[in-house]
Structure 1
Amino acid sequence: MNNHKVPVFVSPQSLTFSLDDKTSHRQIITLFNPYDFPVRFKVFCTCTKKYTVVEPEGSISASSRVDIVVRHNAPAPAFCDIRDKFRIQMQYYTTKKTIGHKDVETILVRSSDNFEPPAENFKQLPKSDFSADSYENDSDIRQNFSKSSSGPNYTTLLMAGICICGLLLQSSEETDIMKFRISFNLKLAFAFVLGMTTITILQHQ
Structure 2
Amino acid sequence: MMRQRKRKKTVFLSPERLVFKETDPKATLTVYNPYDGPVFYRVLSNVPERFIVSDPEGCLPSAYRVDIAVQYRLDEEEDANEKADNKFKIDLYSEGKVLLGSKIIFAEIQTSKREEDSFRPTRESSVPRPAASATTKHSPRRSDGTTSSPFIIIIGLFCVGILIWPDPGTSRYTSFIEISTSHRLLAAYVLGLITVAIFR
What TM-score results when the alignment is normalised by the length of structure 2? 0.50
**Bigger Rg over Cα:** 2
Which structure dedicates a bigger proportion of its chain to helix? 1
Scaled by the length of structure 1, the TM-score of the pair is 0.49
